Amino acid sequence: MSDEERNNGPKKGSGTGVVTATKPKTKKPSMYKVLLLNDDYTPMEFVVHVLERFFFKSREEATEIMLHVHRRGIGICGVYTYDIAETKVTQVMEFSRKHQHPLQCTMEKE
C-alpha cells in the first residue's frame, strides 16, 4: 500500500476534514537461522529424520545438511521468523531428549 493510499487522500463528502497523516510503518520481520550442532553420539539416521520431520526436507537434502553438520560442526536447517524458529528449536530439543540423544539445536539472528 502506498503512503497516499494509507493516508486516504482528500476527504470526500463534507468538503472539510482534518489532515491525519500517518507514518509508514510496515517493517520486514527479523529472520532467525535455526542451527544444528554436531556431536559424537547422535545417530546420523536420527538427524536425517529430524530434518525431514521438523524442517520438511527431502531425504536427499536432509542427508546433505546432516553430513555438512557432521563434517563442519554446525549447519543451517532453515531461516524463520522468531516464533517459528523458537518452536522448531523446542521441537527438536524435546524430540532428541525423548529419544535420549544429545543433539543440540539453537537459533541465531540473521
Contact 97, 82 (CB under 8 A): no
Q: Among 2-10, 27-35, 42-50, 91-99, which window interacts with ligand TYC (CB under 6 A)?
A: 42-50
Least separation in angstroms between residue 35's CB and ligand TYC is: 9
Question: Residue 80 belongs to what H/E stretch?
Answer: strand 74-81
- Taking CB under 6 A as the rule, does residue 48 contact ligand TYC? no
- Taking CB under 6 A as the rule, does residue 70 contact ligand TYC? yes
Q: Among 16-24, 34-42, 56-64, 84-92, which window interacts with ligand TYC (CB under 6 A)?
A: 34-42
- Taking CB under 6 A as the rule, does residue 34 contact ligand TYC? no
Per the rule left: phi > 0, alpha: psi between -120 and 50, beta: everything else, 10 is: beta
